[in-house]
Structure 1
Amino acid sequence: MIEVKNLKKSFDGKEVLKGISTTYEPGKTNLIIGQSGSGKTVMLKTLLGVHEPDSGQILFDGKDFAALDPNEKRNLRTEMGMVFQGSALFDSMNVEENIGFPLKMFTNKTNAEIKDRVQEVIDRVKLIDANKKMPSEISGGMQKRVAIARAIVNNPKYLFCDEPNSGLDPKTSIVIDELIQEITHEYNITTVINTHDMNSVLQIGEHIVFLKDGELVWEGNSIEIMQTDNEDIVDFVYSSELLKEIRKFHTNK
């Protein structure tokens, strides 16, 4: 569980996060949504420890990140997995080597143990016949699977995803969404996803926070977001005529 309490962050005198409070529970896909400039990327980076908050608290299973000593922070970071927007695979490493990299960096596992664990997650994310291929030799969807496998190879308690569907076609995006949700449920991970993909919101939005100008202005799930009268949400989510018709169907049920 991650608890966020009255989180504030400014850059050059401009307040970007304005006292945000929320809770991200394990075993759920927790989404952060909002327009460009709303603060969602800063929010994610602050959760990751890339940015230090000006005030407020971030508690990881009751532990205040700011109060931890450097060694404790380092240990906590080994419990975090990250799926980057562009996958961020190492071009000079094949699929196996990319996935095994965190184990070599942060554990004392033997080469045999690393090989076994890497194969486990390769099988789990259904990367077929890709072990020895280079990132340039596989599709964008497969690259994303590699990124997910690398993020979970060290059995993280917390999984962070930054625009995981960026650059993917709609069909592949749905597959990646479902994979992230399955892994979240299966391993009871606290998963936080920064996204602008409304298909993701409607498909896997088990807990959603909507940011506007650095404030949390709405919180709920994918069902509630279809029925809300919040004008900010309506303007943001129902930007197409198709989605407006879907909303009418749900609100009239």
Structure 2
Amino acid sequence: MIEVENIHKSFDDAHILKGITTTFDTGKTNLIIGQSGSGKTVFLKCLLGLFEPTEGKICYDGQNFSELSSQEQRALKEDMGMVFQGSALFDGLTVAGNVMFPLEMFTKLSKSEMEDRVNIVLNRVNLVDAHHKYPSEISGGMQKRVAIARAIVMNPQYLFCDEPNSGLDPRTAIVIDNLIKEITEEYNITTVINTHDMNSVMEIGEKILFLKDGLKEWEGTKHEIFKTDNEAVTNFVYSSELFKKVRQMYIEERN
């Protein structure tokens, strides 16, 4: 579990995050949504330990990050997996090489132990025969699965995903959403996903945090978001006619 208490973040005179308090549960897919400029990216970087909050605290399973020594902070960061927007694979490395990279950087495993671990996670994301291919030789959806395999290869306790469906067609995006949810449950990871994809909200939004102007405007589940009367949320989520119809159908079914 990640517990966030009264987080503020400022850059010079720009006050980006304005007192966010929330929790992200283990074994669940926790989504952060909001318009551009709402503070989602800054908030995610605070959770990753890349930005130090100006005020407030972030606790990882009871550990207050700001109170840890630099060595303890480094060890905690090694328990974090990250799926970057656009996958961020190394073009000069094969699929297996990309997935093995964190193991080579941060562990003392033998070559055979690393290869075994790479095989396990590539099999888990359904990439059995792609080990020797390069990123340019596989599809965008396959690249995203490689990025997920790399993110979980060190058995992280926390998984962060930044726009994991960016650039994917709707069908492939659903596959990636379901894969992230399955891995979250199987590995009992605390997963936090930064997204603007409302399909993701509807598919896997077990906990949704809606940010507006650096504030926590609303939080709830994918079911509760259909029922909220919060105008900022409804304007954001139901900006298209399709989602307006989906909400109306949901309300009618509940009645």
Could you say which residue in structure 2 is the equivalent of 1:165? 165
TM-score, length-normalised on structure 1? Answer: 0.99
CA distance in 1, matches of 2:180, 2:95: 19
Correspondences of 1:36-185 after superposition (within 5 Å) = 36-185=36-185
- Runs of 4+ in structure 1 off by over 6 angstroms are none
Cα shift at 1:227: 1.3
* AA aligned opposite 1:149: A
Cα shift at 1:99: 0.2
Correspondences of 1:157-236 after superposition (within 5 Å) = 157-236=157-236
* AA aligned opposite 2:143: Q
User: Structure 1 vs Structure 2: percent identity of aligned residues?
Assistant: 65
TM-score, length-normalised on structure 2? Answer: 0.98
- CA deviation map 1:52-110 (0-9, x unaligned): 10010000111110111110011001100000001010111000000011111111100
Could you say which residue in structure 2 is the equivalent of 1:237? 237
CA distance in 1, matches of 2:11, 2:146: 34
CA distance in 2, matches of 1:207, 1:246: 19
Cα shift at 1:138: 0.4
CA distance in 1, matches of 2:65, 2:219: 24
Could you say which residue in structure 2 is the equivalent of 1:34? 34
- For structure 2, the 5+ residue unaligned runs are none
CA distance in 2, matches of 1:229, 1:128: 46
CA distance in 1, matches of 2:202, 2:41: 20
Cα shift at 1:37: 0.2
CA distance in 1, matches of 2:242, 2:191: 29
Cα shift at 1:129: 1.5
* AA aligned opposite 2:226: M
How many matched pairs?
Answer: 253
* AA aligned opposite 1:165: N
C-alpha RMSD over aligned residues: 0.6
- CA deviation map 1:97-148 (0-9, x unaligned): 0001111111110000000000000100001321000000000000000000
SS in 1 for 2:58: strand
CA distance in 1, matches of 2:106, 2:174: 32
* AA aligned opposite 2:124: R
SS in 1 for 2:174: helix
SS in 2 for 1:193: strand
SS in 2 for 1:242: helix
- For structure 1, the 5+ residue unaligned runs are none
CA distance in 1, matches of 2:220, 2:247: 16
CA distance in 1, matches of 2:88, 2:186: 25
* AA aligned opposite 1:238: Y
